[in-house]
Amino acid sequence: MPEPKRPLKVFLCHASADKPAVRDLYKRLTADGVDAWLDAENLIAGQNWQVEIPKAIRESDVVIVCLSEKSINREGYVQKEIKFALDIADEKPEGTIFIVPARLEECVVPNRLSDYHWVDLFEENGYEKLMRALRSRADKIDATLQIKKSWLPKFQNQKQATSIPESIQQTKSHKPKAEIKKPNLTVRELFSKFVLAFWGIFVLIAIVLSFLPSFRNLFSKDITTTNTPTPKSTATSLIPTNTVIAVTPISLPTEITDDFGVEMVLVPEGEFTMGVDGYSDNSPAHDLYLHNFYIDKYEVTNINYKECEIAGICLQPNKYNVTHSNIEYYDVAKYDNYPVVHVNWFMAKDYCEWRNARLPTEAEWKKAAGSFSFSGSADCNKANFYHCKGMPSEVGSYVHVTSPYGTYDMAGNVWEWVSSLYQPYPYTISDGREDLFSTGRRVLLGSGWYEDNFGPGSYIADSESRFDLSPNLSFGSVGFRCAKDANP
């Protein structure tokens, strides 16, 4: 008996912000007989994602690169996955369907993928086109796909359309024409058809005239003085490209609570100055432009992190030791709203992604912190620094260290992990520092309760406090917070 064919193996490459849409695609592919690989579904707690993801790409028959404005404009692991997939594609025979760009929305396909014909999943027959490509690949390698009506073409080819049994053809051809009678229409039915035809012609004329500049100008004054906002539509525009339309910007809430009950604040898009000339490793000062994003109002707490541990995603941090203090700190009710510590960079990243968020970049964290400075004699009424409490304090305790956007504890309490590799300034997002696959040292920001920068009795903390640490290490004075893109 011949061995059964194996299912086609497909890797789903995507940005974390597109995870909900990609998860839906994963479910549909799986239902249609595809052995799809999605990190959120296939990675097991405790596995090294830096090993498992490249392994999954190499073992796949097809890599579907899910594209959106979020994925093509963001540096990070999705770019690394694309590069790795392209390297493997170079090893394949010419003409092999291996990389399939799949647009989730209208967006520009990156140059390095432009050689591959893409499919638009937001179109009505987009999924059908994708499945035809996967079917072609499966046939080439003797893999199998489960055929479902949900993706079969909705049309018949010419041969199918004309293939009519001879007996039926004869029956139809011998039917006397005299027997085919047109129904008699009443006066009311004739009048109804006349009215429908009249209104159809009227609407058609109105549509044509609406595109003529001379006709539109008759009403331009009334249109420009109205205050009614233009609703946003995801449909393809039918208005000529040379038509200028004033679009009312969609405002974003300054504060939100995500699906996990965590409060986040908006950091609006715009330019800011990052770094300070002559200030240690934060020099030179340089201007950066960032898009809208949300960031956690408070540092991630023990009770926040515990939910992820219960879900089987996050590893448990050190339960007792909080840097030279052998106290039971994690998973204790009285410390629920204290920042979680003893989490390394990988643990922090896993938690944020479980929340459908991510670690903020160094630039995002710096902008969210704003410009502030507390230095001189240790004043424990301002922030939790060395000699103040001897351990972390409850999040949000120090209102004097609130940033312009409403974030708490951006100085003191605990150092905070960000996604970025520790590299010199100026900060450039395209220079590799947002490579989530690298094992280099990562940036810590904000200073912590255990650090004494200038000796006993004095301290310094500001938005420029910057440190580096191996991503595998964790301490009782290191925590984090999460961020996510702000989409209207």
According to DSSP, the residues that pair with 458 across neighbouring strands are 377
Residue 359 pLDDT > 90, yes or no? yes
Q: Rg (Cα) of the chain, in Å, rounded?
A: 30
User: Where among 140, 158, 177 does a domain terminate?
Assistant: 140
What pLDDT digit, counting tens, does each position of 392-415 carry?
A: 999 999 876 678 899 998 888 899
259 & 240 share domain: no
| Residue 365 DSSP label | H
Question: How many Cβ atoms are within 10 Å of 276's Cβ, its own excluded?
Answer: 17
Contacts of 472 (CB under 8 A, 6+ apart): 344, 345, 346
Identify each DSSP E strand in 224-292 by its residue range: 255-257, 263-267, 270-274, 286-290
Q: Residue 197 is part of which domain span?
A: 189-250
Predicted local confidence at residue 82, as pLDDT: 82
449 & 422 share domain: yes
Query: What is the rounded (10 degree) CA torsion for 89, 95, 98, 101?
Result: 100
- Distance between CA atoms of residues 134 and 7, nearest Å: 11
Residue 210 pLDDT > 60, yes or no? no
Q: Worst-scoring range by mean pLDDT, 184-198, 208-222, 292-306, 392-406? A: 208-222
Query: What CATH number is attached to the domain comprising 85?
Result: 3.40.50.10140
Closest CA to 207 of 245, 241, 238: 238
Looking at the domain assignment, is residue 2 inside a domain? Answer: no
Predicted local confidence at residue 410, as pLDDT: 86
23: its two tokens = 């998860």
Total number of domains in the chain = 3
Question: How many Cβ atoms are within 10 Å of 429's Cβ, its own excluded?
Answer: 17
Residue 148 pLDDT > 60, yes or no? no
| Residue 108 DSSP label | P
Contact by Cβ (8 Å): 341, 464: no
303 & 223 share domain: no
258: its two tokens = 């995500």
What pLDDT digit, counting tens, does each position of 10-47 carry?
A: 999 888 778 888 998 999 898 888 999 998 888 887 77
Looking at the domain assignment, is residue 21 inside a domain? Answer: yes
297 & 205 share domain: no
Which position has the token pair 């006993």? 456
Residue 181 pLDDT > 90, yes or no? no
What is the Cβ-side half-sphere exposure of residue 26, based on CA atoms within 13 angstroms?
A: 17
Looking at the domain assignment, is residue 204 inside a domain? Answer: yes
Looking at the domain assignment, is residue 168 inside a domain? Answer: no
Query: What CATH number is attached to the domain comprising 281?
Result: 3.90.1580.10
Contact by Cβ (8 Å): 364, 484: no
Closest CA to 337 of 345, 328, 329: 329
Looking at the domain assignment, is residue 101 inside a domain? Answer: yes
- Distance between CA atoms of residues 375 and 370, nearest Å: 16
Looking at the domain assignment, is residue 179 inside a domain? Answer: no
Contact by Cβ (8 Å): 323, 475: yes
93 & 194 share domain: no
Q: Worst-scoring range by mean pLDDT, 72-86, 243-257, 308-322, 447-461? A: 447-461
273 & 246 share domain: no
Question: How many Cβ atoms are within 10 Å of 174's Cβ, its own excluded?
Answer: 7
Question: How many Cβ atoms are within 10 Å of 243's Cβ, its own excluded?
Answer: 10
Closest CA to 141 of 35, 49, 264, 233: 35
Question: pTM for the full model?
Answer: 0.51
480: its two tokens = 């984090």
Closest CA to 20 of 254, 259, 242: 259
- Distance between CA atoms of residues 429 and 435, nearest Å: 9
237 & 279 share domain: no
